[in-house]
């Protein structure tokens, strides 16, 4: 196999290996994803984003998402912004152009703004437990109680943004050791497909501090779908306004959810880091 050409990008520190599967089709096995994501033996990234020809007529491209552990995901908010920026760079149209991107879970409106910010329409949040998926809780509730061995009972909100999220409101997100609790939630039987776990501290009605321990990647500097998940769960609880700045360790995202039944809008920056080639054969893959 010829060497794999890729672009390295990030969305406020959530970093990606971007592969154009139309020009260099690559079989992204779990082993290859883990090697690509390895920060010593590979390129290093939180997720791999494969770009494909779109099936939906109004979408300019389709994208698929692999976590660093080789598992696939249904959505990646920071990755979607990078796909839009990648398309804009590959085929520079008028700045501010609107395009549509096809994710595994649907088609999303994207707009690259003149100031470099990218807005993605992330879709309508899904709170029905079985559609998250989450089992063992009868119906849609404001919040759910989960008792985990070795941890005090937690109350959390749960939502799908095309991928599963549990959101725990905390008092001091910066001072927390989030990994042990997050891993306990991820392996709990209530989440058959595991789950991304967000820890959110409300700073004001229009400001939230958030850290996310992601499914398949661990704690990342930012999680776009996690920022949407935290914002809509807190909005449902009346804790924040319908437009909120979510401050993650890697930077800020603006999340708006005008009303129930409408799509969540996420706006934030992207960055190109470098282009490269990767030699799987040289490492036996
Ligand atoms: N770990 C996530 C996928 C990446 C999401 C995140 N990087 C984002 O920006 O939304 C999952 O398995 O559902």
Ligand 1 closest atom vs CA 78:
9
CB 9 within 8 A of CB 15: yes
Judge if the beta carbon of residue 103 lies within 6 A of ligand 1.
no
Separation between Cα atoms, residue 238 and residue 215, nearest integer Å: 27
One-character DSSP codes across the chain: -PPEEEEEEEETTEEEEEEETTTS-----HHHHHHHH-TTTS---SEEEEEE--SSTT-SEEEEEEETTS-EES--HHHHHHHHHHHHHHS--STT-EEEEEETTEEEEEEE-TTS-EEEE----B--GGGTT--S--S--S-EEE--TTS--EEEEEEESSSEEEEEE-S-GGG--HHHHHHHHHTSTT-TT--EEEEEEEEETTEEEEEEEETTTEEES--HHHHHHHHHHHHHTTSS-SEEEEEETTEEEEEE--STTSPPEEEE--EEEEEEEE-SGGGT-
CA of 44 relative to ligand 1 center, distance in Å: 16
Dist CA 16 CA 49 (whole Å)? 7
Q: 35-73: per-residue pLDDT in tens?
A: 999 999 999 999 999 999 999 889 999 999 999 999 999
| Residue 7 beta carbon below 6 angstroms from any ligand 1 atom | no
End-to-end alpha-carbon separation of the chain, Å? 10
User: Is the pLDDT reported for residue 90 higher than 90?
Assistant: no
Look at residue 162 and tell me whether its pLDDT is greater than 80: yes
Compute φ and ψ for 88, nearest 5 degrees: -60, -40
What integer is the mean pLDDT of 23-32?
A: 94
Q: Which residues are catalytic?
A: 76, 223
d(CA 134, CA 251): 30
Backbone angles phi, psi at 180, to 5 degrees: -55, -45
Residue 196 alpha carbon to ligand 1 centre in Å: 7
Among 110, 195, 210, 214, name the best residue to mutate to test ligand 1's pocket (greatest count of ligand atoms within 8 A of Cβ).
Answer: 214
CATH homologous superfamily of 129-262 equals: Diaminopimelate Epimerase; Chain A, domain 1 (3.10.310.10)
Integer Cα distance of 120 and 260 in angstroms: 17
CA distance 156 to 134: 12
Determine if residue 123 is labeled as part of a ligand binding site: no
Ligand-binding annotation for 24, yes or no, is: no
Ligand 1 and 32: CB distance under 6 A: no
Ligand 1 lined by 132 (C-beta under 6 Å): no
**pLDDT surpassing 60 at residue 1:** no
Report field, pTM of the whole predicted structure over 0.90 = yes
**214-263 residue pLDDT tens:** 999 999 999 999 999 999 999 999 999 999 999 999 999 999 999 999 99
Domain 4-114+272-283 carries which CATH code?
A: 3.10.310.10
Determine whether the shortest distance from the Cβ of 162 to ligand 1 is under 6 A. Answer: no
Confidence of residue 2 (pLDDT cuts 50, 70, 90): low
Which of 73, 183, 192, 231 to mutate to test ligand 1, by most ligand atoms within 8 A of the CB atom? 73
Helix crossing, 77-90 with 224-236: angle to 10°? 130
Task: Consult the annotation and say whether 67 binds a ligand.
Answer: yes
CA distance 148 to 154: 8
Closest Cα partner for 160 from 221, 65, 225, 212?
Answer: 225
Cα-to-centroid distance, 215 and ligand 1 (Å) = 7
CATH 3.10.310.10 maps onto the chain at 4-114+272-283, 129-262
CA angle, corner 10, sides to 165 and 22, nearest 5?
95
Residue ID of nearest Cα to ligand 1 atom 4: 76
């Amino acid at each position: 196999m010829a060497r794999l050409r890729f672009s390295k990008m990030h969305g406020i520190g959530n970093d990606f290996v971007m592969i154009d599967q139309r020009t260099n089709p690559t079989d992204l096995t779990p082993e290859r994803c883990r090697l690509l994501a390895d920060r010593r033996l590979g390129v290093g990234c939180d997720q791999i984003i494969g770009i494909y020809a779109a099936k939906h007529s109004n979408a300019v491209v389709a994208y698929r998402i692999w976590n660093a552990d080789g598992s696939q995901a249904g959505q990646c908010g920071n990755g979607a912004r990078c796909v839009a920026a990648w398309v804009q760079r590959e085929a520079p149209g008028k700045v501010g152009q609107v395009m549509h991107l096809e994710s595994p879970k649907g088609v999303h409106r994207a707009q690259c703004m003149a100031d470099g910010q990218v807005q993605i329409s992330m879709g309508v949040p899904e709170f029905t437990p079985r559609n998250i998926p989450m089992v063992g809780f009868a119906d849609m509730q404001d919040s759910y109680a989960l008792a985990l061995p070795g941890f005090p009972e937690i109350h959390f909100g749960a939502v799908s943004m095309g991928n599963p999220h549990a959101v725990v409101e905390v008092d001091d997100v910066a001072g927390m050791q989030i990994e042990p609790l997050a891993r306990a939630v991820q392996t709990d039987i209530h989440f058959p497909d595991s789950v991304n776990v967000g820890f959110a501290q409300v700073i004001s009605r229009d400001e939230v501090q958030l850290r996310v321990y992601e499914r398949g990647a661990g704690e990342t500097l930012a999680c776009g779908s996690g920022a949407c998940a935290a914002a809509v769960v807190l909005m449902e609880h009346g804790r924040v306004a319908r437009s909120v700045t979510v401050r993650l360790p890697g930077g800020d995202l603006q999340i708006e959810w005008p009303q129930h039944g409408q799509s969540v809008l996420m706006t934030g920056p992207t960055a190109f880091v470098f282009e490269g080639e990767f030699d799987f054969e040289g490492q036996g893959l």
